[in-house]
Amino acid sequence: MTQSIYSNYPPELSAAQQKFLVTAVKDWAIQNGLAVRPSPAIVPAGTDQNGVLATNAPVTLFPSPFPRTCFDEATALQEIYNELYASITCNEEWLGDIVKGLIEVDDFVANLWKVHLAVKKEGYVQNLSLGLFRSDYMAHVSATGDPALKQVEFNTISSSFGGLSARVRQMHAEFLTSPPGPSINYPFHPLLHSEVPPENPAVETLSSGLARAHEAYGVSKSTPALPLCVVFVVQATERNVFDQHALSEQLKKVHNIPVFRVASVDVLEQTFIPSDNSARPLLYRPPHSPESTFEVTTLYLRAFYSPDDHTSSRDWDARTHLERSAAIKCPTVLNQLSGCKKVQQVLAEPTGLDHLSAFLKGVDPSLIERVRSTFAPQYDLSANSKGRELALNPETAMNHVLKPQREGGGNNIYKSDIPGFLQSLPESDWMGWVLMELINPAANAQNVALRNDGEVLRGDVISELGIYGTILWEDTGKILHNNHGGYLLRTKGKEVNEGGVAAGFSSLDGVLLF
């Protein structure tokens, strides 16, 4: 990685230039829905009782440089990654073996598996599954100094920020090109002005996946036939609503599909399965229009990925109710489980068992090796294992992160905290965690972020790239649709361990390829 690319990027801003740019970003964000509902930390309790306020999403003022070779490779591998995770989901026995190793130590995983077993016992009535995936990477600086693409994780549920990341790209691109002529928004810099950030069709990709599932559902299974719709299952307290609206708007306006939002806590009240219909269609009665009933073709889960969404047995009943219905799930419980960090660790294990080739039968071996080379070393923590040794030694722990089977950010343990944390847990619980070597991205880049409370931060940053993909498949493994498109760049201070925009660690960013 060439030091010179970064050495004076982004351009320095005078106080007046920074004020101008921050105002431009703040206003552009609200004008264009690059926004989130404010957290209680920003709006004190009682100030926004009617929930009318919105603020800019945390966002960088400049797009960040990202190596073109890594960006292109991540894009090139997305469809094969889609296929890999569809294939894992189809192999209930293999996945079940992994899950069984977690059941004793992880109630959340155990309960998900119970939902699957309950529906399996009754019999699944939908053989199609939809994946809206995001594969996350960093550009690792290898010993030779060249950047190498390394996967942070693969997300199979609630892969978010497609809507907002497309808008960040639009904002940076507009600031660079509008008005025509020398940029009045940014001081000149050769890297910044060498090209416009790459197109970001995340909204088109993700909504096309949902539309494809809607179409594949076929005709109504009700008598008389009911109008069909897509339902987004969301968290009642969701703040990232505009990201989700970007997808539902596209579904409504471009694909002409009715879309409704149902909070996870309202699922059992607002949806039902008629007991006299063995096809088990999922029916939805909008509370604002109780005389109309829709049949749900596709359920897009932006909830139920965390134990926080499952606070009572009623939430688990709701999840089982959705899973047993004829709606196409994005994701199914099995597909959600395939996204466990443990699965990623087992895939990366150099045990001699080549899981990757087994799941990608018929795929060009050189392509499989390219997927494999994106894995960073990962270990389990069984007795006498290398993972346990690395985790408990304070020196080697410094180069690692410890991950539980969770999504949504804020769950990992880092570096020097690892040995003490493990020792605070009963040894029997250690198998619920995986140890991963830290990816080491170039940290000599800088950027300026406007946080959603208006704070402006400038400093050394590191970035994480996500690539979106969609896949629709039958439980036999037959693939009906496999596509990729669009990206997310999240950037955080280099001293920050965690990632995640919603979790409050990163800012949305754009990409400048070099």
Of residues 280 and 492, the one with the C-beta less far from ligand ADP:
492
Q: Within 10 A of 2 (CB to CB), how many other CB atoms are there?
A: 10
The contact pattern for Mg ion, residues 404-423, with x = CB under 5 A and - = no contact, is: ---x----------------
Q: How many CA atoms lie within 13 A of 91 on its CB side?
A: 17
Q: Which of 87, 160, 338, 463 is catalytic?
A: 160
Phi-psi region of 137 (alpha: psi -120 to 50; beta: other; left: phi over 0): beta
Contact 166, 201 (CB under 8 A): yes
Tracing tokens 């497309």 back to the chain, one arrives at: 166
Tokens describing residue 412: 């990992």
Contact 206, 259 (CB under 8 A): no
- How many residues in the shown chain lie near ligand ADP by CB under 6 A? 19
508 bridge partner residues = 59, 490
- Give the whole-angstrom CA distance, residue 489 versus residue 162: 10
**By the rule CB under 6 A, 498 interacts with ligand ADP:** yes
Of residues 155 and 483, the one with the C-beta less far from Mg ion:
155
To the nearest whole angstrom, how small is the minimum distance from the Cβ of residue 376 to ligand ADP? 5
Q: What is the DSSP letter of 450?
A: E
- Nearest to residue 506, comparing CAs of 142, 17, 136, 197? 136
DSSP 89-111: HH-HHHHHHHHHHHHTT-HHHHH
Which residue is closest to ligand ADP by CB?
499
Sole binder of ligand ADP in the list 109, 128, 148, 152 (CB under 6 A): 152
To the nearest whole angstrom, how small is the minimum distance from the Cβ of residue 46 to ligand ADP? 31
Sign of CA dihedral 7, 11, 13, 14: positive
User: Which among ligand ADP, Mg ion, none contacts residue 277 (Cβ within 5 to 8 A by kind)?
Assistant: none
- Give the whole-angstrom CA distance, residue 114 versus residue 333: 10
To the nearest whole angstrom, how small is the minimum distance from the Cβ of residue 154 to Mg ion? 8
- Nearest to residue 67, comparing CAs of 198, 202, 245? 198
Tokens describing residue 394: 């304070």
Query: Is 244 annotated among the ligand-binding residues?
Result: yes
To the nearest whole angstrom, how small is the minimum distance from the Cβ of residue 224 to ligand ADP? 44
Site for ligand ADP in 345-404 (CB under 6 A): 376, 401, 403
User: Which among ligand ADP, Mg ion, none contacts residue 412 (Cβ within 5 to 8 A by kind)?
Assistant: ligand ADP
Q: Is residue 252 among the annotated active site residues?
A: no
Tokens describing residue 502: 């919603």
- How many residues in the shown chain lie near Mg ion by CB under 5 A? 3
**By the rule CB under 5 A, 464 interacts with Mg ion:** no
Of residues 295 and 407, the one with the C-beta less far from Mg ion:
407
Q: Which of 33, 96, 101, 408 is catalytic?
A: 408
| 490 burial level (CB within 10 Å; 0-12, 13-18, 19+) | buried
- Give the whole-angstrom CA distance, residue 406 versus residue 105: 13
Contact 359, 353 (CB under 8 A): no
Give the SS3 label for residue 314.
helix
To the nearest whole angstrom, how small is the minimum distance from the Cβ of residue 176 to ligand ADP? 27
Q: Is residue 408 among the annotated active site residues?
A: yes
175: phi then psi, degrees, rounded to nearest 5? -65, -30
**By the rule CB under 6 A, 438 interacts with ligand ADP:** yes
Sign of CA dihedral 162, 168, 171, 172: negative
* Bridge pairing between strands 128-141 and 456-474: antiparallel
To the nearest whole angstrom, how small is the minimum distance from the Cβ of residue 381 to ligand ADP? 16
Give the SS3 label for residue 58.
coil
Query: Is 305 annotated among the ligand-binding residues?
Result: yes
Q: Is residue 155 among the annotated active site residues?
A: yes
Of residues 160 and 483, the one with the C-beta less far from Mg ion:
160
Give the SS3 label for residue 232.
strand
Of residues 350 and 426, the one with the C-beta less far from ligand ADP:
350
Q: Is residue 407 among the annotated active site residues?
A: yes
User: Which among Mg ion, ligand ADP, none contacts residue 436 (Cβ within 5 to 8 A by kind)?
Assistant: ligand ADP
**By the rule CB under 5 A, 155 interacts with Mg ion:** yes
Q: Is residue 215 among the annotated active site residues?
A: no
Contact 260, 229 (CB under 8 A): yes
Site for Mg ion in 356-415 (CB under 5 A): 407
Of residues 132 and 228, the one with the C-beta less far from ligand ADP:
132
Tokens describing residue 225: 């036939």
**By the rule CB under 6 A, 164 interacts with ligand ADP:** no
Q: Is residue 389 among the annotated active site residues?
A: no
Q: Is residue 469 among the annotated active site residues?
A: no
Contact 509, 10 (CB under 8 A): no
The contact pattern for ligand ADP, residues 131-150, with x = CB under 6 A and - = no contact, is: -----x--------------
**By the rule CB under 6 A, 411 interacts with ligand ADP:** yes
Q: Which of 407, 483, 500, 506 is catalytic?
A: 407
Query: Is 85 annotated among the ligand-binding residues?
Result: no
**By the rule CB under 6 A, 412 interacts with ligand ADP:** yes
What are the residues binding Mg ion (CB under 5 A)?
A: 153, 155, 407
Q: Report the binding-site residues for substrate.
A: 134, 157-160, 238-240, 244, 302-305, 490, 501-502
Catalytic sites, residue numbers: 134, 153, 155, 160, 341, 403, 407-408, 490
Q: Report the binding-site residues for ATP.
A: 153, 341, 403-412, 414, 436-439, 464, 492, 498
What are the residues binding ligand ADP (CB under 6 A)?
A: 136, 152-153, 376, 401, 403, 406-409, 411-412, 436, 438-439, 464, 498-500
